Each structure stands twice: as C-alpha cells, then as structure tokens.
Amino acid sequence: MLIIWFLLFSYMIPSSTSIDSLAVGQSIQDDETLVSASGIIEVGFFSPGNSTRRYLGIWYTNVSPFTVVWVANRNTPLESNSGILRLNEKGILVLLNATNSIIWSSNLSSKAVNNPIAYLLDTGNFVVKNRQETDMDGVLWQSFDYPCDTLMSGMKIGWNLETGLERYVSSWKSVEDPAEGEYAYKMDRRGYPQIVKFKGHGIKMREGSWNGLSLVGNPGPTNQVSLKFVFNEKEVYFEYVLHNRSFFEVVTLTPSGAGQIFFWSTHRSTRQPVFSSEEKDQCESYAFCGTNSICNYNVNSPSCECLRGYVPKYPDQWNVTIWIDGCVPRNKSNCNNRHTDGFLKYTHLKLPDTSSSWFNTTMNLDECQKTCLKNCSCTAYANLDIRDGGSGCLLWFNSLTDMRKFSQWGQDLYLRVPASELDAGHGNITKKTVEIAVGVIIFGLVTCACIYITKNPVFNKSGTLRKLNSKRYKTKHKHEDVDLQTFKLSVLANATENFSTENKLGEGGFGPVYKGILIDGQELAVKKLSKKSGQVLEEFKNEVALIAKLQHRNLVKLVGSCIEGEEKMLIYEYMPNKSLDNFVFDETKKKLLDWPKRFNIISGIARGILYLHQDSRLKIIHRDLKTSNILLDTNLNPKISDFGLARLFLEDQIEANTNKVAGTYGYIPPEYAARGHFSEKSDVFSYGVIVLEIISGKRNKDFSDPEHYNNLLGHAWRLWNQGRTMELLDEVLGEQCTPSEVIRCIQVGLLCVQQRPEDRPNMSSVVLMLNGDKLLPKPMFPGFYTEKDVSFETNSLLKNHKLFSVNELSITVLDAR
C-alpha cells in the first residue's frame, strides 16, 4: 500500500527536484521552484512578457499560456537572474539580490514563532507557519493577505478591523510590468460595505453590496462557487470558494481595467485555460444616468429614466441623451407632508450606492418603512437580506445613485413619493388610450408623407421617384448638412483630461491626436487641428463632409466634430492598437503580426480602397495612403483613416491636376510628384508601397539597397526578376507562411507600384488577384527606379536631390497619428 501511495504521489509531482516547503536556512535560486504537493501550482522566478526583469511569482503548472497569479516584488524588480528566496529564523521570507541586499520581505508576525516553515499550498496560497501547528490558526504570514491582480478561491477582499490590514485586488501597470496599476477592486466601508472598482481615486464601476445571495451588481444563481460575506467587529470581507476541486477558476483585473475569468480542468497534463471577459454594458459605468434615475440597457443601447416624482435636471441635455446630471425632485420636499407620503415599489433593480446608507440587521420590512417615514431625508428603503422572504433594513438618504434595471433577478426597492405621485401610479394607461394614441400617430405620419410627396420635386404626380442625372444629384448634395454628433469643447477636455500628454496618441500634419473617455465609458480618438497646421479649415470641413458619408468595415468611423472659436476637432472611434506602422516597423511588436494577420491586413486595406473608388456612392481618391493612416482595431483588422487630403471625383472622371502636391514622401507616385497628376492609380501606387512594407517590415523611404542603392520598391523588383522573391520576406516570419501566397502578394505589390499609371491594375483587379489562383502579369519597373538600364520620363529629375526636398515639391508630410 505504501509503495502504491508513493507511486501516485510521484506521478502528481512534476519531474524536477522541486519541493513544496522551505525550512529555516533553506533557499531557492532563480532556476529553482517550489511545487505544491499535488503538482498544481509553483513559486519561482519569471520575467513578464518581453521584459528582462525578474520577479518572484506564483503560477499554475502546465498551463498554456503562462498564467501568473501572484507577484511578491511587484514594485521592486530584480535586474538580473541572481535572486534568492530564503526563510530566516524569525519566520520571514526575504528576497535577496546579487549584493545580498533585501529587496522584498514578508511581514513580521505578531504571533510567537517556533520552528517556522513555508509551504506552497495547492490552493495557490504561500504560507509561513509554525511547523507543529496543524491548522490555519498557526499561520504567521500568507500571500492571500496581499493579493495582486488575481482573485482566487479562498482569497478575501476586505478589511481586518483589528490590525487595519486591507486586502484588495489591483491591476498590473502593463503586461510587462506587474507594479500596481491604476485599477483596483476594493471594499468600500462607508455606509453598508460594498465592492467597488476604482480607477485611481474615482469609482469606475460598482459590484455593490451583499444581499445574502449575491452582490447586487451581479444577481442570479452561482452553481460552481459559494459566495461568502463576513461583517463583524473583527473583520469585513467578501470571498468566493469553489465547490468542485476538479477545475480552477480565477478572476484577473487587466491593466486596462477589464475583468477576466480564467477557468480550466485539473485533469489534463497540459491545461489550456478558457477565459471570458467581463461583459459590461454602459449601464455598468458608475452613475451613468446621474442621480435619481434608472439605467436600462435594451439590445444595443442604454436609456435612462427618472424615478417617479423626479424630472431631468437639465431637460435640453436629457433630450439629446446626455444623462450624466441625472434628475431632481419635481417638487421641493416639505417635511410637514411626511405623514401623507407613500412608497412606490421598483423590482429587478441593482440597488443604489450604499456609501451614504444606514442599515439594521434585525428590523423587518414594516419597521424599516416606518423608520424611513420618520426621517425627512430618507428617500428609499429595501431589505438588507433577501433570503427566506427578506430581513434587515437598508435606508437611503437624499439622492440615489447608480441604479439599473435587470431583466430578471435583481432586488425590490421602495421609493418614497408624495401621495400625488402614488395616485398617478404605474399601469393606469388604458387600452383605449393606447389605441387612440396609435391612431393619432399613424394619421400624422400618413399626412406628413402625403404633403412631402406632393411638394417635393423629386417625385412625379404618381408619387414615384423621378430619375435625376448624376450632375444634378451631386450639385444638390454638394453642401448638404452632415448628420453627425456635435461635441462641446468642455466635454472633450474632460474626456481627454484636458488634452494631457499622457492621453496623447500621436501627432501628424493635422495636429495632435488624443485618447478620450466619455462619462459613459465610450473611448474616442480626438484629432485636434493645430493652429500651426498647414492643413486649413477647408481641409477640415472636407474630411468631415467626405468620411461622414462613408460606411465600411475597413474605414475608420467618424463619430462627430467640434468647432468652438479657434478650436476645430474630429472625433473618431478609438483604435486600441493605434496605427499599422507602430507594429510593422517595430522590432518587438512586428512579432505579433504573423503571416495570416499580415495577409488579412493587406486584403482589408484593398477592400477599403475598392469601396472608396468604386462601391461607395461617392468616388473618392484618398491621396495620403500610408501605414500610419491605417489603424488597427482590437483584432488587428485594418481601417483606413485621415481623409483631409481626399478628393471627390465625378463618376466619369479619370484624373485631376493640382499645383500643390500634398502627400507623404515614400508613398506618392512619380506622376503626382513631378506633374501634380492624381487619379485612382495614385492610390493604387501608395497601396503597393504599403503591401511591400508589410511583407518586408521595412520602410520604403528609409531603405537603401547597399549594393545597388535602390529604394525598397527597386530592391523588391530586382529580387523578383532574379527569382529570389522570398528574400524580401520579414525575417521574423520564418517558415510559418505559405511561399506561394507571399510571392503572389509581392507580385501584386509590384504591379501596383509600376512607373506608368496605365500599367497599374485598378483595385477591383487587385482584390481578385489577392484571392485568386490565376497567373498574374509580369510587373514592369517600379516608380523612382534609377538603374542605368532603365529610362523614363522623370529619370533626369529624380537624379536631382532637390526633388526630394519637401519645400521644393510643396509636399505636406503627415506623420503617424
């Protein structure tokens, strides 16, 4: 029997010399680990992401990807792999660096220390205890008292009221820096305790108070875990405990403030965690609807409703869905009328913020109501505990904040209202009233439609739409108003923290671009017209007018604009991964762009340009396509941006001329640089440059072939002619791609950058060539190719270095946004 037990135990421990405990005088070095008794979890040294700094951490074994759940020296990293962890005779864990200096240590226990030993438990808790103690009462120190970014089963969030110890979860600064970030889950002890997510010192989101079954912000059944709330004179905390030990589940607070739940089975030798993001809608943003109102999320959008007896504080803002200032009482409170006040019941609610509440655990609901009526400032009450029919009393005073409606679950709230509001009661609209209202609405709509058809010259006498020639149609719509949201400068200043440098995403010829977060949590990119910008107001209006009419998944979405005094801004959807050049030319980030992602980006850009040239109701030439104007969304899908230089073509227009060449060196074609001619083929040339840059990971304008002094285009053409095409491929891609697909993309890129515009394909052909298998034509020499065996119109000009002067060509160089 002993032999069988030994074999089983050996099977559960990874094949290493690691142990699960550390006695006084023992230590582990950088290449050693402690492994828990069942081989589930281990403690040792690691480097996060691409960082070279070393940290002492705890992680689950055989889990891919590598999942760290606790870090000891999160704010004091080791600069080399010479770290040593040791347990001293006082029962203190110390982390030493190369000079034997202590850079981190566990706290000194107030308990008597007798032959201490450190254990790594299967729960993930790293504990120091007296060796002879058999239970957790003898624990001198434990890692569970000092959470990092991960909440684990058995770990508490809350306070030890005797020692003043606060336990809370805080995010990492970044994926490569585990130092304490700006987001944290904490227990707010004001009023009735509740769990709150903070960003700095401000509340970002509220999980809420405990109602006996769950936190009010997350109602509903929990099948796999037991939730626990303890509140007494010694401590107040919340924790969860897993029922089933055959799987793990942890909750991680990411550097961006999102919550992620990781769970995986314990039975597999190599475990692949499944994770789900914290699916939060706008109603979860703290006080999204302001005070005295309820947020309701229907399908894809939130709406706010004032409580009975309350009206919007600013009706004009409320009518245009600006709800942040909330609602105020319809009539001033009169304490003399308190005996005639009543209570209106709301169901399925997330109860309001309890930081200013009062509570009693022994009162019943009737006593709770009477207590509220006795106090003029009391505005609502509810059961403290909803189990077994409800018990306890929770009272709110003055304003009610951060409520939402749930479709099911939720809780009852009793709102105090004057008798007149009770008489108006819910549900008094009769069926007859509804029928009359519907009839009036239908009659009104029909009448308006008839008047419109009769008076509008677009329709003939029979009410059918007349055919309009394209010229008249364009004239009619040339100056039409654009249906876009207009933002106030004060709103954008608040969203960008007064356009702080910390929120600055980049700067180009137009001006700086800032990240902004509206009060409802919506993220935006705010592009601000610089007063020194060469791009004038006309170009600003041009971009608004053009992009507002364009809708395509590979075009960035314009959300709105702002014009106040001298300030002019464009507001776009926020792209978390910024622009393509930040990835493809960065030695670290380019590794995230494997070949399938690069091919997806190449194809997506092509579809976006095709839409501009052919599939939209406007024919648009972008004129400034480049990697810094290709933004990447969360999934690295490309979106074309910056339409300040774009031009609108008539349906039968082939090309146009300009005396002022505006674009970016390295992406503009020869005919545009030399003669000011631009057309669809100008964008095709720029696209070809982008394709070759994506494949090679090199900038065209910075590249110089050391042997032949070619730019990237000439170098690629030379390799193609010599049958060495794959040598252009970015080295970080290795052998992970399909050579035939890479070669086809390079050939398409070379076809697009041919010297003569008429030789270049249009974008519809490009899209077909990228996804087809037919043989492609042989590309001619590219633009700006200056080998001796090639002669073309602008060759003599190109040899003059003055051509590359921005001032000489009047080129507006627009850097990455």
Active-site residues, by number, are 624
**In contact, 763 and 687? CB cutoff 8 Å:** yes
Residue with the two structure tokens 């099948």: 223
CB burial of residue 368 (10 Å; 0-12, 13-18, 19+): buried
CB-hemisphere CA count at 13 Å for 188? 25
Beta strands in 534-673 (DSSP E): 558-564, 567-573, 619-621, 630-632, 638-640, 647-649, 655-657
Per the CB < 8 A criterion, the answer to whether 642 and 629 are in contact is yes
Residue in this structure with the two tokens 């008094």, named with its chain if needed: 428
Helix 712-721 and helix 680-696: axis angle, to 10°? 70
- For residue 296, give the H/E element and its range: strand 293-298
Cα 393 from Cα 395, distance rounded (Å): 7
Residue with tokens 């090679």: 696
Separation in Å, CA 364 to CA 308, 368, 386, 460: 25, 6, 11, 72
Cβ-count burial 140-174 (b if 16+ within 10 Å, e if not): bbbbbbbbbbbbbbebbbbbeeeeeeebbbbbbee
Phi and psi at residue 435, to the nearest 5°: -65, -40
State the Cα angle at 204 between 202 and 206, rounded to 5°. Answer: 110
DSSP string, 491-541: HHHHHTTTT-GGGEEEE-SS-EEEEEE-TTS-EEEEEE--TT-SS-HHHHH
CB atoms closer than 10 angstroms to residue 81: 13
**What distance, in Å, lies between the first and last C-alpha atoms of the chain?**
70
Amino acid at position 548, single letter: A
Q: Please say whether the beta carbons of 349 and 401 come within 8 A.
A: no
| DSSP-assigned beta bridge partners for residue 198 | 184, 203
